[in-house]
Amino acid sequence: MLLAIVLMIVGLLLLVYAADRLVYGAAVLARSIGIPPLVIGMTVVGVGISLPELVVSTTAAINDQMDLAVGNAIGSNIINILLILGGAALIHPLSVRSDILRRELPLLLLVTALCGFVLSDGELSRFDGVLLLASAAVFMMLVIKIARAAEKEGLDTLTYEQMSELPQDSSNTVAFLWLALGFIIMPLASGMIVDNSTVIARYFGVSELVIGLTVIAIGTSLPELATFIAGAIKGEDDIALGNIIGANIFNTCLVLGLPALVAPGSFNPDAFHRDYWVMLAVSIVLSGLCLMRKHRIGHLAGALLLCGFIAYMAVLFLLPDSIAF
C-alpha cells in the first residue's frame, strides 16, 4: 500500500515536470517559426497547463476507468477555484485588471453549462467528444481575437504578463530534446498514476470517482498551483487568474472531450448529480468575484473559498453517497 502511494506521488511529479518541459519546447519551436508570442501564450501555454489532466484522463478512459477520467476533470476545476485561488487570495488579495479576463468569464460559464448537458445522461459518447473538442477550438479562436483587439487598443495587462513569461533565448535542438523527453515521460507517468490510484481506491474502500476528484485532481493541478504562486510573487495577478480560467475551460473541453472521443463509456451518475453542480456553483462564484465593482478577490473571499473546499472534501469522504442535486 505504501509503495502504491509513493509510486503515485512520483508519477504525479514526473507528469508535471514532463508537461512543463513539453510546453517549454513547444513554445520555443513556435517562436522560432514566427508564431506571434501572443498566440503562443494563449494556445500552447494555455493548453499546456492542462496537459497533466489530459494525459491522465485519456489513459484512464483507455483503461476503462471512466470514473477516474471524469472525476479528474471535474475535481481539477473545483480545486483550482476553491483550493488554489482561495488559498492564494487568503494570503494575498488578487486584483482583476485585465479586460480579457472579464470577457473570458462568460465563456467559462457557457462551457460549464455545455459540460452539464454532456454529463446529464451518465455517458460520454464520441459525439460528446467531438462537441467538446470543437468548443475548445472555438474558445481558442475567440480568446485570440479578444486578445488581438486588446493589443491594438494598447497592451492589456494579461497579454503583457503572458509575453514576458515566454522563453526568449533557446536553441531548437534543446527544444526538440525537451519535447522528446516530455513525450517519453508523460505516458509512463500517467500509467503509474492510474494503476496505483486504483490500488489506493480499493485499499481504502472509496470509489475511483472520489480518488479522481481528490488525490488525482490535486496532483494534476500542480502546474496551476506553480504558475499561480509564481504570478502572485511577481505581482502578476492577471496571469495567475488567467491560468485558472483558461485551465478550467480546457479541463472541461479537452480533458473530457479527448477521452470521450478515443474511449467512450458510462460513468458514475454522482459525477453529474453531485459534483457537476459544485463545479457550476464555484464557477459562478468566481465570475461574480471577478466582475464585482472592485474587481478584487480579498482575504474574506479567500477564506470562504477554502471553507468550501474543506466542506466538499468532507462530503466526499464522510458522506460519499448521501448528497446529490
Check residue 18 and give its pLDDT.
78
pLDDT in tens, 220-229: 887 777 766 6
Q: What is the pLDDT of residue 262?
A: 94
Lookup result for grid cell 478515443: 262
Which residues fall within 8 angstroms of residue 200, CB to CB, at 6 or more apart?
Answer: 1, 4, 5, 8, 211, 215
Q: Which three cell numbers stand for residue 221?
A: 493541478
Give yes or no for residue 158 having a pLDDT over 60.
no
Report the distance separating Cα 148 and Cα 112, nearest Å.
25
What's the CA dihedral at 117, 45, 180, 64 to 10 degrees? -20
Domain ranges for the chain, please list them.
2-318
Q: How confident is the model at residue 218 (pLDDT cuts 50, 70, 90)?
A: confident
- The string of pLDDT tens digits covering residues 13-57 is 887 787 777 777 776 766 676 666 556 666 666 677 788 888 889
pLDDT, residue 81, reads 93
What's the pLDDT band for 193 if we cut at 50, 70, 90? Answer: confident
- What's the DSSP call for residue 63? T
Whether the Cβ atoms of residue 51 and residue 271 lie closer than 8 Å to each other: no
* Cell numbers that stand for 146 in this block: 479578444
Distance CA 55, CA 60 (A): 9
What is the crossing angle of helices 51-62 and 172-204, to 10°? 50
Report the amino acid identity of residue 267.
F
In angstroms, rounded to a whole number, what is the distance separating the alpha carbons of residues 222 and 109? 23
Residues whose CB falls within 8 Å of the CB of residue 284, separated by 6 or more in sequence, listed in order: 109
Look at 283 and 224; give whichever has higher pLDDT.
283
Mean pLDDT of 73-88: 91
Among 88-97, 147-156, 190-199, the range scoring the smallest mean pLDDT is: 147-156
For residue 133, the model assigns a pLDDT of 94
The mean pLDDT of 171-199, rounded to a whole number, is 78
The contacts of residue 225 (CB under 8 Å, 6+ apart) are 84
What 8-state DSSP symbol labels residue 125?
-
Per-residue pLDDT for 144 more than 80? no
Are 215 and 72 a contacting pair, CB within 8 Å?
no
Q: How confident is the model at residue 231 (pLDDT cuts 50, 70, 90)?
A: low
Tell me: pLDDT of 163 over 60.
no
CATH topology of domain 2-318: A middle domain of Talin 1 (1.20.1420)
Residue 277 burial (CB count, 10 A): 14
pLDDT of residue 16: 76
Query: And the C-alpha cell for 215?
Result: 488525490
Lowest mean pLDDT among 102-111, 138-147, 231-240, 258-267: 231-240
16-20, 159-163, 268-272: range with highest mean pLDDT: 268-272
